[in-house]
Structure 1
Amino acid sequence: MIRRDINNLMKPLICIAGQNSIAVNGLRLVIERYPECRICYIPSNADKGLNHWQPSLIKKAKEWNVQKVDLEDIYHEEELIFISLQYSEIIKTRKFKSKHLYNLHFSKLPKYKGVYPAIHSIINGESEAGVTLHYIDDGIDTGDIIAQQVVNIEIDDTARDVYIKQSECAFKLFEIYLEHLIEGNCFTYPQPALGASYYSKTSINFSELHFDFNKTAFEIHNKFRALNFREYQMPVFSNWQILKTEILTEKSTQKAGALLEETEAYFVIATIDFDLKLTKDYYPALWLACEQGDVARFNHAVSFIDNLDLRNQHGWNALIIASYFGHVEIVQKLIEHNVNINMTNYKGTTVLMYALSYFEKTGNVAPFKLLIESKPDISLRDDFGKDIKDYIVEKSLNQLLSVIS
């Protein structure tokens, strides 16, 4: 239920519904520009109130003391301005008294209505993607268009790369048009029928990702990079995750799909036209070595790794993993490789906090002391507002206070 204030009843109610950075940044902008208005939010179902690779709208809204509501709470609001920023539910406009219902869709409509627009844009060989601000009607991303912007899709961009570009572009568009949305003076035009496309949730079965190599190198390259989104999935070939692909200059002379070469670093396969190089993804091997303390496997994997600070889908990187499992030799090697000693997971938990957990479990202080010698920032606070000293005191491990002083 919406909180009522007799002095604010005539002011618009601005509702931000959605998830991820676009919704968080959008809500922040509304608060900054319209503090006199009533403001509320509706999170997507996937938002559990904790940051992941994207920030949590629930978490930020709580920090800003913004009221959380359900759709049913706002249907009757005549002065409602509803803005969907990556909201996951279908909006039924007939239930709303207000007609000021807007959506920021991550495609250049009328193309790529529905879901996975970045993935489908890449698979289809597009050179640009876009974002569209439009009215919400009873269709799926079919409302009249208010404004659009485009972003380039480079030849090696992955779905993750395109999504980040779209998120940044979408917020810029939102900044420009927020005042028009609030005042209700948007110029619009209907979406054309020609060039339109739509993709449902069943358009991609992520549990069964198959590659048809009886295609051109360009088509196969596009499929691999379209499925490259480490937080969700990575493309696989011959039991290897594939980090990236490259279209070679050599024309294929063997049957499409033939394995022409395999080294420790890559595969080369034939296609309909040009050979294609598939680079093996050694990050899983690196992270497993850090977990198991396998120095030989670590040394081997490192030679194929560009960014040792890269985090896995859970937000852990090599140093976090090695510190949590107490593998001092690997921690030392990572420090020698100049990794970021102040790296955190998605919730702000520092490497030092993970080493503290290892000490708490085992009584072995070696990883903790080794990290301290590298002079990490001990003032860093996690999402719960605590630093390493707070946890030492909370866990009654006061013998470590002298180590960090």
Structure 2
Amino acid sequence: MVKAVVFAYHNIGVNALKILLKHQVEVSLVLTHENNPKEYIWFNSVKELAEEKGLPVITPENPNSPEVIKQIKQAKPDFIFSFYYRHMLGEKILQLAKKGAYNLHGSLLPKYRGRVPINWAIIHGETETGATLHVMTEKPDQGAIVAQQKVSIGIDDTAKEVFDRVNDAAMTALDNILPSLLKGEAPHHKQHLKKGSYFGGRKPEDGLIDWGQNSVAIHNLVRALAPPYPGAFTYVNGQKLNLLRTSLSHTNDAIAKTVGADGKALYILALELDGQPLDAEEFKKRFPQGVRPDSNPIQTDKSS
């Protein structure tokens, strides 16, 4: 039986681990993360799944420490897999995989290498993304591609909606390629990095809206950071206003209306003021004349 050491986290980690078990891979060690108490945990637990299946599981702060590398070596992996694990794996770990080390990435590589690729794709207005299984190297997301699966991105899709679609695409790609990969027969295609792009991580404060952008760019930021992500926000009279959902088209459900630097309308469908939801009636009570965040008007939506 083929043995694998699996680094995994999040829903993709849970579902990918299930795919390995479905294909009778002997998972000799699982490495995952302890949940951060400061982070909103909206996804499933790899640790709980591993314990349920009776798999050895550890949650090291540093997977590249000598003690952890020793444990991985003792697990005698034919393959090493990384499924949305948040730490980079060093060469000493990658070399322990006799038949290869592979990572699932949430974009169509070589585009959007690096961190939070789905959020970045939406921020940049992409109409498609996907999932890629590729060889792990010391430099992130640069190894040969083994499998890819595309998904579409609609103009109003949020990051969570696209993430769920990418999750399904990733499982399809992994499920389809795994039999030939385990036999050593899967084709490997070199990446053309110059045709791609790389992006770093994002912080909650990066959600501050730049009202100097056009309405499409603001709409893209809002949907890229919509719940369960931290959210796009502005400040109104010293109060934090979170825009949770917007539309570029007029709708009777709109709570308020704003405009981008191009003068085109952006309709606000859901928002919070200092963490409390506001409906249209409450918005009008609090801001009967409309408000001006950073010199940009947000008004009650009385007409299109």
Category of TM-score, reference length = shorter chain: 0.7 to 0.9
| Partner of residue 285 from structure 1, selected from 248, 272, 276 | 276
| Partner of residue 80 from structure 1, selected from 78, 83, 95 | 78
Confirm or deny: 8 A CA contact 2:149 2:172 kept in the other structure: no
CA, structure 1 residues 270+126, in 2 after alignment: closer, same or farther (shift >3 Å)?
A: closer
Question: For 1:232-311, what aligned pairs fall within 5 Å after superposition?
Answer: 232-237=229-234, 238=236, 239-248=240-249, 265-281=255-271, 285=276
Q: How far does residue 224 in structure 1 lie from its aligned partner after superposition?
A: 1.6
Match of 2:248, SS? Answer: strand
1:118-150 residue CA offsets vs partner (Å, 9 max, x unmatched)? 111011111001110101112111000011111
Q: Which has the higher Rg, Structure 1 or Structure 2?
A: 1
Of structures 1 and 2, the one with the larger relative CO (CA 8 A, separation 6+) is: 2
Q: How far does residue 231 in structure 1 lie from its aligned partner after superposition?
A: 2.7
| Separation of aligned partners in 2, 1:97 and 1:198 | 27
Question: For 1:152-301, what aligned pairs fall within 5 Å after superposition?
Answer: 152-201=152-201, 204-228=202-226, 230-237=227-234, 238=236, 239-248=240-249, 265-281=255-271, 285=276
More strand by share: 2
CA, structure 1 residues 241+210, in 2 after alignment: closer, same or farther (shift >3 Å)?
A: closer
| Separation of aligned partners in 2, 1:38 and 1:183 | 17
Q: How far does residue 45 in structure 1 lie from its aligned partner after superposition?
A: 4.6
1:364-397 residue CA offsets vs partner (Å, 9 max, x unmatched)? xxxxxxxxxxxxxxxxxxxxxxxxxxxxxxxxxx
Size of the aligned set, in residue pairs, is 262
Structure 1 segments of 4+ aligned residues over 6 angstroms from their partners:
none
| Separation of aligned partners in 1, 2:32 and 2:121 | 27
| Separation of aligned partners in 1, 2:16 and 2:246 | 35
Confirm or deny: 8 A CA contact 2:69 2:92 kept in the other structure: no
CA, structure 1 residues 55+125, in 2 after alignment: closer, same or farther (shift >3 Å)?
A: same
Confirm or deny: 8 A CA contact 2:130 2:148 kept in the other structure: yes
Unaligned runs of 5+ in 1: 1-10, 250-262, 287-296, 302-405
TM-score normalised by L of structure 1 = 0.59
Unaligned runs of 5+ in 2: 59-67, 283-304
| Separation of aligned partners in 1, 2:254 and 2:149 | 42
Confirm or deny: 8 A CA contact 2:142 2:193 kept in the other structure: no
RMSD: 2.9
Question: For 1:12-27, what aligned pairs fall within 5 Å after superposition?
Answer: 12-27=2-17
2:302 equivalent in structure 1: none
Match of 2:247, SS? Answer: strand
More helix by share: 1
Confirm or deny: 8 A CA contact 1:20 1:57 kept in the other structure: yes
Percentage identity across paired residues of the two chains: 25
Query: Is residue 2:47 matched to residue 1:58?
Result: yes
**Letter of the aligned partner of 1:143 in structure 2?**
G
Structure 1 stretch displaced more, 22-31 or 169-178: 22-31
| Separation of aligned partners in 1, 2:126 and 2:135 | 25
